[in-house]
Structure 1
């Protein structure tokens, strides 16, 4: 996923990619990987708080937008001792998940980005790709091909 980004990718697009990956990561897996890094000290700009957001959808992916329903999210913002700011929005009520994602976001903006990418983001991206591949294969196994048989009477 992160390896799919071209080398001259806009930094905002790269950040969007890793923040999405952190938000979608299973909480237990992110926690296990996070334990491998030396987490820096930080100050809260916005402590983790839980709220709701309206999820919008589009008919067929391209049609008119409609309100699909509400989803619970937890968000936070923090500043590392070096001054780098990290943000996170994650689905659900896990304040720890949001905190870890925000710390990784902040670290990815600093000198330790390559190391954090190797330790945290690349394994999460590989695991997400594997989950998607497995789900696609399972769905493909249920595919039904309909065809019309010509009866020999006419």
Structure 2
């Protein structure tokens, strides 16, 4: 009778340890995966998921003109494809926003960062398959 109790206790302990190990493995694998999802994308991923605009030349509100080019980073390959199809809408938004600005609106780092943020917001309004993650100014001449 003592042996049966001892065997039962050992089996219960083994089952508990196994169950604890399975739960620990599940938690580690699930939470370790979340850290990778929020990691910054590599440069190769950024290039694969971004679209470069043609050079845009337009008049400004202050009677100056600007030549500017952007690289627009999306969150997925599907979003990149959608953005590429919406080229005419993207150019329209860029021209509308740029033509309503003055030359002083391009002076300084903070002003350019504000422009990138505002364009990101406006472009996200037309997106259906994903989102715009970042807008980069890649070429810029103000005359």
Normalised TM-score (structure 1): 0.21
TM-score by length of 2: 0.22
Q: Which is bigger in relative contact order (C-alpha 8 A, separation at least 6)?
A: 2
Structure with bigger strand share is 1
Structure with a larger share of its residues in helix:
2
